[in-house]
Amino acid sequence: MSAQVAVVTPRPFVPIFAGGVGLYHASFDRFDATMPGFYHRRAAGRARGQGRTVSFTNPSLAGGGGVPMYVTRHWALRLEVRATLVLRDSRSFVVTTGAIRLAYHFEDHPVTPSTHAEPAR
């Protein structure tokens, strides 16, 4: 669950910041050499008779931001970077992701900025 806030600017690119809380789920092959230490220590403590796959679900905090670029009045591409802080006891693990999202907006957005100045009142 997250909240998103747009930074109001007079430009066609409006930065967006987001933050939230949730659960982070990860599954690994028990013998995967690339498993992060955050999970490897916990997998080693589990009983061997539980199969080859180990899964973890932990609370997490997420934060990030992005910039939507309107390609038409309703469609936008949003470049986004997010960091998720996975928590367990007094330890943490950071997962960083980047994405290019395609978004549809029901309200109209100008594709190019207005070049006409508003008259003074």
pLDDT 10s digits, 7-30 = 876 666 778 899 999 999 999 888
CB 78, CB 103: distance < 8 Å: yes
pLDDT 10s digits, 74-97 = 888 989 999 999 999 888 999 999
Of 73, 65, 70, 98, nearest in space to 13 by CA: 70
Q: Where are the domains of the chain?
A: 2-104
